[in-house]
Every structure is written in structure tokens, then in C-alpha cells.
Amino acid sequence: MDPSSDTWDFSPLISLWINRYYIYLGFAFGIGLWICFQIVTRKQDKNSQEKSIPKAAQDLMTNGYSSLHKKEVFVSGVKIFYGSQTGTAKEFATILAEAVTSLYLPVAVINLKEYDPDDNLVEEVTSKNVCAFLVATYTDGRPTESAEWFCKWLEEASNDFRFGKTYLKGMRYAVFGLGNSAYASHFNKVGKNVDKWLWMLGAHRVMTRGEGDCNVVKSKHGSIEADFRAWKTKFISQLQVLCKGEKKSCDGSCKKGKCESNQRSSEEMELGSHTQDGLHQRDPEEEEPFESSSEEESGTEDHQSLTSVVDVEDLGNIMNHVKKEKREKEQQEEKTGLFRNTVKNEASERRAMITPALREALTKQGYQLIGSHSGVKLCRWTKSMLRGRGGCYKHTFYGIESHRCMETTPSLACANKCVFCWRHHTNPVGTEWRWKMDQPEVILKEAIENHQNMIKQFKGVPGVKEERFKEGMTVKHCALSLVGEPIMYPEINRFLKLLHECKISSFLVTNAQFPVEIRNLKPVTQLYVSVDASTKDSLKKIDRPLFKDFWQRFLDSLKALAAKGVTYCGESSASSLTMANVPWHEEVVRFVRELVDLIPDYEIACEHEHSNCLLIAHKKFKIDREWWTWIDYNRFQELIQEYEDSGGSKTFSAEDYMAKTPHWALFGANERGFDPKDTRFQRKNKSKDISGC
């Protein structure tokens, strides 16, 4: 305000108001410049920080192992397993671990002697680890002492249909074998077998097998150390490829150890799906189970199919092989013709049930064959209980000690060709006994001896309890449920009597096609009848029985069973094809609840979740609101002796030798059917059984 005047001058304010838009624009422009300055400054700071980081660390970040922004991990680590006798494989494992460490990957070196494949190997399916196996071949092509149990378990699992071809699907592995080509018949046999068995279980080979040779004359690189260095270099290179998640690993079909995966850019694929769910799809023709990196391995090229693409150089060898096979086939046909003529001339002589081909197949599957028609095999639950890891459902339901149970059969033959058959219909079938017959005394003696020999193999195995090992050498129970139809054996009653005389309880399973034999059966500790279907049509489709009157036989067998006074255990929930068809445990429980509602005087008594089964028992075994489904086996032996002494006139029932069921075995118990004294399986609700019991 002017002091000489009484009026105010608002012209400056008016001017600012009129030009306010220019002022706003100036402020906006200044703020924009400031933002741009900040962005440029931060970018320069970031670049300067990156320049200060070592190149190895930059590669580490680029490959996705460590980053400010979380990236997918394609390889979480490396596990190096070794089986060594003189220390060479162990030394190689240490060297390989140092090489892996340079890639900033976690690495673990594991002695196979201290490793439990039964519990831990399946974890590698989803672990995103790469497993390297360094295994030596010892005397006569056998594994070293430290790797003996691992190899035995792996071989049995690979030949056990209950594990299946996808058990280790998702696991990635590589094998380096140590051997001496001076022993040509079993050069690197252990390495080849481990490679093959892992592949058979669905694991994925990331590179061709390496073969170290102690024979410097024939060693591919001049010494076993040089052989290992060459393989190690390839392994580290392949590991880098896997870490980037850019290329497909070795497909296992490489010829003579020459990996062609890196040359086929059209077949490259990312491992994202593999690491996302732990599984990857395997092309049926993707890998060759007997793939070898050794040029001297016999039979590698001889087994190529003429329909596959082959080198012209190899065509002559293949054609020679075909001609050789044709000559051998003609010679075999001539021998067969002579044999048939001999059989016609000796028609009165019965043939052996176990043919040479069947003997070879069953032996490969772990069976110990007895005479001409019997067999014994060690159950996986026997192995489990020897190691304090729980027993099968028979232990939960009836008190059978799995580590003292012998699984056998006096007849490998059967009258059905069930779609879910364990043996895939390789065993003989028939509606009556038409083979040579061995005496029951011989069968039992050899069965016990073979069972004990198989138990002896567990001495020193990691986790085996000394007390149970000693107990396992004395057979206390016999499960006549291995395979085939035991009740077909004409001397089944004599065999049962011999078992009871040896104080061995009997657990007999039959397929409900021999009602007369069931009625004529002498006292047995437990008698099971398999009920695989509920209608005539479904039974025909599922069991594919040989008898034309199969349905009437089935009904008559159930009536004969009722007359024996045994406990009905409900309908079988066995799979007809694959594990994918097996119901979840919750589904089985729901089904059994509905079934019990339809059966008067029956209730659910026990549960064994791991085997995916429940026990339905008559209420007569429930005394004062407590279940008595277990068996007093000593009392049973006393009763069976009284029966024999009376000439069969003194009879007894199941109530006479029942015992109280422990709380942990009851339906709904927290233990889910596992004895709390044992190490429980780490399997939760949705468990599917591969027990086969």
C-alpha cells in the first residue's frame, strides 16, 4: 500500500493470477528434470555396482541360483554316492565334489554303506538334485561291501511290479563305474547294473555312463584316473547346461558314448516343467535301458531294431545277427520236435510245473524256487520289520510278526488269469493238478532253509536291529499267499500239519474256485478267500477264471468259508491295472463304512493306512467294548495238538485262541495301524499301498 495514498495496489497479484499457468508449467518442468536426474543417477550407481562384482558371481546370478529378483532354480544341488573297496571311488567322489563346488552348487558326498534307499531315494524325484553314482565292481562282478545293500535293494525294486516303471520318474542321475577289463566277463558290471536299474525305475540319465579301467593297456585314456578326469569334465559341462535350464540333457541313446544332445538344437527344451512338479514326460523311445559308453560292451548294437535308423557300417553286423538268430531258431525247432516225440512216447510221465524259462524269470524277480512247483520270497514287510520300521496289515490285525513270517506257496499254478496278476500270466494255469508232485516234507524243509538264507543277507545292513535279526532266523508264521493257488496242491493238508508241528502258524489264501478243497481243509490258523468282484459278469472280467462254472464255485467257496467260522474281511480293493486305479485311503474308509451298514453284526475293528485296508470283524470278537482280533499263537498250537491227539474229533473255534487287540491297531487310532515301538512310515492320509501283502 502506498503511504501517500489511501488505496491498495493489487496489480502484482493480478499479474501473478493472470500468468498462473506459466508458473504451473515451470514447476512441472522443474520436477520432471529432477525425476530424470534421479533415474540417471541410480542407473549409474547400479552399473558401477555390477562392475565391482566378480565375473563368477555375475554368472551365478545370471544362471538363476542367486539374484535380487528370485529366479527359478533348475539344479538345487549335487549328491555324489560312492561304493568303494580300496578307496579309489571315495577319492574320485571327493575330487568330483571339489569340481562341483566351483559352480557354487551345494554338494554332498555319501557313502552307500550309510545310505538307506528305501527311505531316501524316492525324495530325489522332487529334490531337483543331480545324483552321481561312483561304483566299483569287486570280485566276480559283485558290488563292493559298502554298496552291496544298495545294489540288492535297487535290483529287487527294479524287478518288482509294485514299484513300477515310474517310481523314480523325475530323478536325474549319472553313473561312473570302476573296473578292470582284464576280467572281461564282468567288466564294470556293477556300474552297468546300477545304470540299468535306475533307468528301469523311471530315473532320467543326464549323460552317458563313464567306465574307468584299471587295465592301462586297454584303458581308453591310459589309466583309470584319466578315464575319470575325462568323464568328470563332461559331467561338469553337462551340469552347467542343466543349471541354465536351456538344453535337454542326454537322452541316453547316444552311440558308443558319443553324446549328440548338444548337436540336436531342434530337440532342445527347457526343464521348467521338470522342476515345477518334479516329473517329466518320458518318450517311449527316449532312452535305452542297456545303453553303454563302452565300445567293448557286447550286444549293444546287436539288439538294434531293423526299423530304427542305423549306420551303413553297422548294417552288416545286424544282418549277421539276424541270420544267426534264424539258424538258432531252426535248431531249436528241431530239438523241440524231438522232445515232443519223446513226450508222446512217455505220455504216462508227468512234466514239471516250473519250466526252464519260468525258472529264469522267477529267479530274476527274487524268488527262491523249491523242487518243481514251489517257491519262497522275502516280503518287503519282513525287511521293514527287521529294521524296526513297522509290519504289514497282518501284524496290525492279528499280531503276526512280519520279521518272523515266511511267504511261500506249494503251487505256482492257478485256476484264474486275473487282470491284476502279480506275475503277468507267466505262471502255469489249470483246473486240476497235472504236474509232477514234490513231497511236503521236502518243500517245507527247503522253504525254511531258503528263507533263512535270505534273512542272513541282512546281517550288517544299515538299520537292521540285532534282536529282530536273531528272531527272524526262527520262522513263526507262514503266509501261503505268495502266488498261485496253494490249495491246488494235493498234499496241502499234510503241508499244513507239518507247519503246525513246527509251531508255525498258517495263513492260507485261496481264490474261491475250489469249494471242495476248502471243505476238506484241516484246521488252519487263518483262512482267506479273495473276493475280487461282486457279480458274475464282473468276476468273469476281472479274474478270468478257467472253470466254466466259476460263479457257482465262487458261491460254494463262500459257503464253505462260512462253515469254517472265520472272519469276513470285506471286498478286495486291489488294483486291476496300475497304482493310478487304487483308491485313496479315505475312499476305502467311506466304502467300508457303507458296507458295514449292510452287514448285520459286523463293525470296523482295525486299520492299516499304509496298506490301504481295514478289518471288518464280527461283534463276537468285541468283548466288553474291546476288540479281540489278535491271535494267541501259543494257544493255537496247544489246540491243534489236542485236535491231532483226538484224531480230529476235538474241534475248536477262533474264539478259543483270540487275543486282545492293542489300542494302536484299532480303527481311528492316531497311529494309523503302526506299532508305536517302530519307526512309522512318513506317509500321510493319501497313501497308496505297494506292499502286495
Nearest-angstrom CA–CA distance, 71 and 509? 55
CA distances from 511 to 392, 419, 457 (A): 21, 14, 33
Q: Which parts of 515-619 fold into alpha helices (H)? A: 515-519, 536-543, 550-563, 585-597
C-alpha closest to that of 143 among 177, 181, 93, 182: 177
C-alpha closest to that of 65 among 53, 51, 77: 77
| 141, 168 contact by CB (below 8 A) | no
Nearest-angstrom CA–CA distance, 477 and 471? 12
Long-range contacts of 631-639 (CB under 8 A, 24+ apart): 631/398, 631/399, 631/400, 631/505, 631/525, 631/526, 631/657, 631/658, 631/659, 632/657, 632/658, 632/659, 633/399, 633/476, 633/477, 633/505, 633/525, 633/657, 636/505, 636/525, 637/500, 637/503, 637/505
Backbone angles phi, psi at 414, to 5 degrees: -150, 160
| 391, 400 contact by CB (below 8 A) | yes
Q: Give the amino acid at 260.
A: E
Nearest-angstrom CA–CA distance, 280 and 274? 5
pLDDT value for 677: 76
| 198, 121 contact by CB (below 8 A) | no
Nearest-angstrom CA–CA distance, 682 and 91? 34
pLDDT value for 49: 53
Instruction: Please give the radius of gyration of the chain, using alpha carbons only, rounded to the nearest integer.
Output: 35
pLDDT value for 681: 45
* Distinct helix (H) and strand (E) counts, the chain: 21, 18
Positions in the chain whose pLDDT score sits under 50: 1, 50, 52-69, 249, 251-319, 338-340, 342-348, 566-577, 681-693
Residue 379 burial (10 A CB sphere; 0-12, 13-18, 19+): buried
Going by DSSP bridges, is the β-strand pair 204-205/658-659 parallel, antiparallel, or unpaired?
unpaired
Which residues are bridge partners to 505 per DSSP? 477
Q: Give the amino acid at 123.
A: E
Q: Give, to the nearest 10 degrees, the angle between helix 11-18 and helix 20-52.
A: 60
Question: Mapped to the 3 state alphabet, what secondary structure does 138-153 carry?
Answer: CHHHCECHHHHHHHHH
Cell numbers 538344437 correspond to 265
- The 10s digit of each residue's pLDDT in 76-132 is 999 999 999 889 999 999 999 999 999 999 999 999 998 988 878 989 999 999 999
- The 10s digit of each residue's pLDDT in 5-21 is 556 677 777 777 777 77
Cell numbers 565375473 correspond to 55
Question: Mapped to the 3 state alphabet, what secondary structure does 12-51 carry?
Answer: HHHHHHHCHHHHHHHHHHHHHHHHHHHHHHHHHHHHHHHH
pLDDT value for 344: 45
As a residue count, the chain comes to 693
Residue 339 burial (10 A CB sphere; 0-12, 13-18, 19+): exposed
Nearest-angstrom CA–CA distance, 346 and 144? 49
Nearest-angstrom CA–CA distance, 663 and 670? 10
Nearest-angstrom CA–CA distance, 76 and 81? 16
Percent of the chain past pLDDT 90, that is, above it, reads 46
pLDDT value for 251: 47
Which residues are bridge partners to 173 per DSSP? 131, 205
Would you state the cell numbers that stand for residue 97, as one nine-digit string?
Answer: 565334489
Q: What is the DSSP string of 204-269?
A: EE-SPPEEEES-TTT-TTSSHHHHHHHHHHHHHHHHHHHHHT-SPPP-S--BTTB--GGG-GGG--
3-state secondary structure of 688: coil
| 542, 519 contact by CB (below 8 A) | no
SS3 helix, strand, coil % of the chain, rounded to 5?
45, 15, 45
| 413, 429 contact by CB (below 8 A) | yes
Beta strands in 36-141 (DSSP E): 77-83, 107-111, 129-136
| 411, 486 contact by CB (below 8 A) | yes
Backbone angles phi, psi at 617, to 5 degrees: -125, 150
Give, for 317, the enclosing helix (H) or strand (E).
helix 312-345
Residue 543 has, within 13 A of its CA and on its CB side, a CA count of 28
Would you state the cell numbers that stand for residue 163, as one nine-digit string?
Answer: 514299484
Cα 580 from chain centroid? 14
C-alpha closest to that of 397 among 630, 693, 69, 91: 630
Nearest-angstrom CA–CA distance, 376 and 443? 10
pLDDT value for 665: 92
Q: What is the DSSP string of 472-483?
A: HTS--EEEE-SS
Q: What is the greatest pairwise CA distance in the chain?
A: 153
